[in-house]
Amino acid sequence: MLRDAGQVGTAVRARAPREYPLYVAAGATIVLLGAAVDLNIAGGAASVVGTVLVVVALAVMVVTNGAYYLRYRKVRARSTPMRVEWALGLCAAAAYFALGTLLDGTIGFSFTLGGLVGAVPFLLWAQRLRRAA
């Protein structure tokens, strides 16, 4: 009976909600938005590619967060504190806009670089959550 209880416990933990895909999607969205801004600045056909990147980035966020809320929000609340999410967002926005604005004109893809630097906190937090699970 104890062995069966252990197997049930393992099965329940395996189906438990995972938060790390939310933060991976947020990091990917920030990178894609940075690339989209740079491509829109370039103009021409690159603007179409930039628009497609924005649509892809928003689709990634909607699908990832939508699946989480529909499937897992009913089971338990997220374990990441709200202050950590705000800190991650502020770090990403500061990196994105600081690098994008300060390096604009000196290198070709300054907003993409800002997006890459801004995505790092989200990806590190996702890695922490994945290891804790």
How confident is the model over 50-106, as pLDDT tens digits? 888 888 888 888 888 887 777 766 655 667 788 888 898 898 889 888 888 888 767
What residues does each domain of the chain span? Answer: 19-128
How confident is the model over 90-100, as pLDDT tens digits? 988 898 888 88
| Residue whose entry in the numeric block shows the structure tokens 């690159």 | 46
State whether the Cα torsion 74-62-23-99 is positive or negative: negative
Which phi-psi region, left, alpha or beta, contains residue 43 (left: φ > 0; alpha: ψ -120 to 50)?
left
